[in-house]
């Protein structure tokens, strides 16, 4: 037993015996295929020194994702290094199970770290509780087919920390009805056990695979057994890592009128009296715009005749119509009826006309005539029967399709400013493929809400800007 070793030294030695790369590309593929947002709130459990995560984040950023990192590790030295690796992240020293999480995350990842926990059930329960709908729970760890795992099991037995495989992870996850396994692959490479046969190196490798802290020491008994067994290993044994990704389902069973009214009170601070009388199905009200957001937009548009495409229950129309003449269209007749009542409630019925029009129908759009500005807030789902929060990160997979709608509107109105409200979850920069545009990140009370994307003949080069609106200011007025 050698207490002068440190973990980094052991890991360095261990890595020398790994032949044939890592599961990195598989992991990236699994994330990109299944992630449901372009702005990823990432929680790394067992971040270590952060170098592996840095490689993941850099690759995702190169592909256009934005990743906000929180990481935790119980190793103080590793945490210090991870803080340097992620100067803008939040790196915590401590035990994941003792840390209160105040908000939801889009990813919880265990990269070769889940075996360090005694109570895996509690760990997974905690992640699932704090995972956003559509969020990913990712586990990378050895498979039961892995020769290093099998060696571990022979030396340390069944009940040690390391005795947990990607198959065990799948089994635990499958008991939970809120998540589905969406990616399940095995990465196969080689391990050269010849490098383990030197006894000093064997001890270092044992620390890595035992999951026992170096300070606790490996028992003499285990060391002896390992020495005996390592001689039976071949130079070119198979190494197998599982990459398993589970996705949280979209479950909005707690979507009630009461909850929607609480949301609306926050969104319409000047109209709290009207909230209980606002008409519309819960989905339409949930999707509805904010008073402050629409006021800001109204000021941007020169006064005149505005076409509002996809008005739902008219939560945007009632604010737009305070300053403009509005023609508001939607495909849903019930929502349009609700919108008419809402226009009366907000006393703007003389300024807004609601029409049932399919925005995918070029001729119907043509018959509406000319406008000074066009505002569009499509349904961000690919299919209207999908759960409300299930959105695609492709900004064109919407109802109606954003790209086709833009091209049709542009054909009909070559010189009219067209503004799209775009989901906060999507790869918004794809919109620059349509035409040069201004992409605006919209924050309300410092919370990111969505994007406004402006298309106008005057815009020659795409650019980004951020706008910060404050609800509180309205209340103080």
Ligand X SMILES: C[S@@+](CC[C@H](N)C(=O)[O-])C[C@H]1O[C@@H](n2cnc3c(N)ncnc32)[C@H](O)[C@@H]1O
- Residues of this chain that interact with ligand X (CB under 6 A) are 284, 287-289, 310-313, 315-316, 330-332, 335, 358-360, 377-379, 399-400
- CB of residue 207 vs ligand X: minimum separation in angstroms? 55
Judged by CB, which is closer to ligand X: 23, or 283?
Answer: 283
Nearer to ligand X, 230 or 319 (CB): 319
Cβ closest to ligand X, residue 79 vs residue 336 = 336
Residue placing its CB nearer to ligand X in the complex, 81 or 330 = 330
Nearest approach in angstroms of CB 364 to ligand X is 9
Inter-residue contact 140 to 156 (CB < 8 Å): no
* Least distance between ligand X and beta carbon 457 (Å): 25
* Min separation Cβ 295 and ligand X, Å: 13
**Minimum distance, C-beta of residue 316 to ligand X, in the bound complex (Å):** 4
Q: Quote the least distance from Cβ 286 to ligand X, whole Å.
A: 9
Answer positive or negative: Cα dihedral of 387, 393, 395, 401. Answer: negative
Nearer to ligand X, 210 or 398 (CB): 398
Cα gap 113→104, rounded to integer Å:
21
Nearer CB in complex with ligand X: 67/309: 309
- Residue placing its CB nearer to ligand X in the complex, 38 or 289: 289
Measured in whole angstroms, the distance separating CA 415 from the mean position of its chain's CA atoms is 36
Q: How far is the CB of 174 from ligand X (least distance, A)?
A: 35
If the CB atoms of residues 10 and 449 are measured against ligand X, the closer one turns out to be 449
CB of 406 to ligand X, least distance (A): 14
Residue 469 Cβ vs ligand X, minimum distance, rounded to whole Å? 15
Report the chain's terminal Cα–Cα distance, integer Å: 72
Question: What would the 3-class secondary structure string for the chain be?
Answer: CCCCCCHHHHHHHHHHCEECCCCHHHHHHHHHHHCCCCEEEEEEECCCCCHHHHHHHHHHHHCCCEEEEEEEECCHHHHHHHHHHCCCCEEEECCHHHCCCCCCEEEEEEECCHHHCCCHHHHHHHHHHCEEEEEEEEEEEECCCCHHHHHHHHHHCCCCCCCCCHHHHHHHHHCCCCEEEEEEEEEEEEECHHHHCCHHHHHHHHHHHHCCCHHHCCCHHHHHHHHHHHCCCCCCEEEEEEEEEEEECCCCCCCCHHHHHHHHHHHCHHHCCCHHHCCCCHHHHHHCCCHHHHHHHHHHCCCCEEEEECCCCCCCHHHHCCCCEEEEEECCHHHHHHHHHHHHHCCCHHHEEEEECCCCCHHHHHHCCCCCEEEECCECCCCCCCCCCCCCCCCCCCECCHHHHHHHHHHHCCCCCEEEEECCCCCHHHHHHCCCEEEEEEEECCEEEEEEEEECCCCCCCEEEEEEECHHHHHHC
Q: Can you give 305-335 as a three-state secondary structure string?
A: EEEEECCCCCCCHHHHCCCCEEEEEECCHHH
Q: Rank residues 447 and 463 by Cβ distance to ligand X and give the closer one.
A: 447
Residue with smaller CB distance to ligand X, 42 or 375: 375
Q: Are strands 237-248 and 179-191 parallel, antiparallel or unpaired?
A: antiparallel
Of 287 and 428, which has the nearer Cβ to ligand X? 287
Minimum distance from residue 290 beta carbon to ligand X (Å): 8
The least distance separating ligand X from the CB of residue 269, rounded to whole angstroms, comes to: 16
């Amino acid at each position: 037993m050698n207490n002068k070793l440190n973990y980094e030294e052991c890991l360095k030695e261990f890595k020398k015996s790994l032949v044939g790369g890592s599961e990195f590309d598989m992991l990236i593929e699994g994330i990109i295929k299944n992630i449901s947002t372009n702005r990823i709130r990432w929680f790394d459990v067992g971040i270590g020194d952060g170098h592996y995560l840095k490689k993941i984040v850099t690759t995702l950023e190169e592909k256009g994702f934005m990743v906000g990192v929180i990481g935790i590790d119980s190793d103080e030295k590793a945490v210090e290094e991870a803080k340097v690796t992620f100067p803008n992240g939040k790196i915590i020293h401590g035990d994941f199970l003792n840390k209160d999480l105040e908000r939801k995350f889009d990813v919880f990842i265990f990269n070769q770290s889940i075996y360090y926990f005694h109570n895996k059930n509690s760990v997974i329960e905690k992640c699932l509780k704090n995972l956003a709908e559509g969020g990913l729970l990712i586990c990378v760890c050895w498979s039961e087919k892995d020769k290093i795992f099998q060696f571990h099991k022979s030396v340390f037995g069944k009940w040690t920390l390391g005795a947990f495989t990607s198959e065990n992870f799948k089994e635990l996850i499958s008991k939970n009805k809120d998540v589905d396994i969406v990616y399940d692959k095995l990465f196969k490479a080689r391990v050269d056990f010849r490098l383990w046969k030197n006894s000093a190196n064997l001890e270092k490798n044992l620390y890595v695979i035992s999951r026992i802290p170096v300070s606790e020491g490996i028992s003499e008994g285990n060391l002896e057994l390992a020495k005996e067994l390592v001689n039976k290993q071949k130079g070119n044994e198979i190494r197998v890592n599982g990459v398993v990704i589970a996705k949280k389902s979209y479950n909005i069973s707690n979507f009630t009128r009461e909850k929607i009214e609480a949301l609306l009170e926050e969104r319409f601070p000047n109209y709290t009296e009207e909230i209980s009388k606002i008409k519309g199905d819960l989905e339409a009200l949930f999707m509805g715009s904010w008073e402050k957001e629409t006021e800001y937009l109204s000021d941007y548009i020169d006064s005149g005749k505005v076409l509002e495409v996809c008005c739902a229950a008219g939560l945007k129309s009632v604010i737009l119509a305070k300053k403009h003449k509005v023609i508001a269209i939607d495909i849903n007749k019930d929502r349009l009826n609700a919108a008419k009542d809402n226009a009366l409630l907000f006393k703007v019925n003389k300024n807004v006309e609601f029409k049932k029009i399919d925005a995918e129908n070029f001729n119907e759009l043509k018959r509406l005539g000319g406008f000074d500005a066009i505002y569009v807030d499509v349904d961000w789902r690919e299919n209207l029967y999908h759960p409300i929060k299930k959105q695609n990160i492709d900004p064109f997979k919407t109802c109606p399709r954003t790209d086709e709608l833009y091209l049709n509107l542009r054909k009909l109105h070559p010189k009219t400013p067209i503004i799209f409200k775009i989901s906060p979850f999507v790869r918004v920069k794809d919109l620059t493929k349509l035409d040069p545009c201004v992409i605006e990140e919209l924050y309300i009370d410092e919370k990111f809400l969505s994007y406004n994307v402006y298309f106008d003949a005057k815009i020659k080069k795409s650019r980004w800007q951020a706008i910060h609106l404050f609800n509180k200011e309205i209340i103080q007025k």
